[in-house]
Amino acid sequence: MAMASERERCVTGIEGLDNILGGGIPINNIVLVAGAAGTGKTSLAFEFLVRGAVSGENGVLITTVESKSKLLANIPSLVFYDEKTVGKRLTIITLKDLLEEAGISAGVAGESVMDMLITMVEKLVTSTNAKRLVIDSIDTILPDQKEERLDTYFLTKLSLMLHEKGSTAILVSKAETADGGTGSVVDGIIQMGNLERKGDLLRTMQVPKMKGAAHSRAKYVIDLTSAGVLVTTLLKGGI
Ligand SMILES: Nc1ncnc2c1ncn2[C@@H]1O[C@H](COP(=O)(O)OP(=O)(O)OP(=O)(O)O)[C@@H](O)[C@H]1O
Ligand SMILES: [Mg+2]
């Protein structure tokens, strides 16, 4: 039997990330994937869902990209992507459609809007039996990263829902640093970044916090490949 202190993990299937986390994301955690444009946030979050789907876990992707076809067109092919399985297990919906369905007009914020949004997300997660949820990105839902009150309200509700469903969530944000604001109220942070080296712009990944997991806090270099996100240590490149 597992030790009481050991929380069950959602094995992301992204090998390098699971290694950093000591086995995966603790189930029910809300993890913020933060980083500047082009640092690989969508690639990481999408692979999390596809890896889940091919290993039998359903997922939901709420995207701010205008349409599902545009989203898929912009995602490079992954060798482990199995159209049939992913099509069956992964539900993709645009945030615009979700808000429209809930009767929420864009730009409106407040607790009642948060309630409606959470209700919609809960319906989606329940009806699809999703164990993995990604919102890419939360920047329009939680527009003011410095405003902790609404973030806390939304995340507390989301957390209750995830506990009920046994699901794990990744929230994507373009916030370049995850200090304060949303970062202080989520369970985990995966910080994506850029690193210039010899005229090259490398992509990096670092986990400053992950509740329920003893994890590495080192900065790693990542490669986005058709085999998914590959993780190597910084030193390997001879910095
Ligand atoms: N498997 C891959 N092989 C090669 N290039 C890739 C791969 N996956 C993603 N890329 C490229 O890397 C770039 C950044 O990836 P991604 O879209 O995941 O970043 P992002 O952090 O979500 O960016 P944004 O903030 O603009 O949403 C894209 O231009 C994409 O074409
Ligand atoms: Mg993106």
Contact residues of ligand 1, CB 6 A cut-off: 35, 37-43, 76, 174, 224-226
* Ligand 1 atom nearest to CA at 39: 21
Does 144 score more than 70 pLDDT? no
| Mean pLDDT of the 149-165 span | 91
Q: Whose CA is nearest to atom 24 of ligand 1?
A: 37
For residue 221, CA distances in Å to 15, 169, 198 come to 14, 23, 14
3-class DSSP state of 33: strand
Average pLDDT value for the chain: 90
How far away, in angstroms, is 42 Cα from ligand 1 center?
Answer: 7
pTM: 0.94
Asked if 57 and 131 touch (Cβ cutoff 8 Å), the reply is yes
Distance 228 CA to ligand 1 centre (A): 11
Give the type of residue at 90. L
Domain boundaries, the chain: 9-237
Query: In 3-state terms, the chain is what percent helix, strand and coil (to 5)?
Result: 35, 25, 35
136 close to 41: Cβ distance less than 8 angstroms: yes
Q: Residue 25: enclosing H or E segment and its boundaries? A: strand 25-26
Residue 5 has what pLDDT? Answer: 44
Q: How far is CA 91 from CA 46, 86, 94, 136, in A?
A: 12, 9, 10, 13
Q: Which architecture, in CATH terms, is 9-237?
A: 3-Layer(aba) Sandwich (3.40)
User: Ligand 1: which atom is nearest the Cα of residue 137?
Assistant: 27
pLDDT, position 38: 95
Q: So what's the pLDDT on residue 166?
A: 96
As a whole number of angstroms, the distance between CA 30 and CA 182 comes to: 11
Q: What is the Å distance from ligand 1's center to 62 Cα?
A: 17
Best residue among 14, 33, 42 to mutate for probing ligand 1's pocket (most ligand atoms within 8 Å of CB) is 42
Ligand 2 (ion): residues with CB under 5 Å are: 41-42
CA-CA distance, 19 to 23, in Å (whole number)?
A: 6
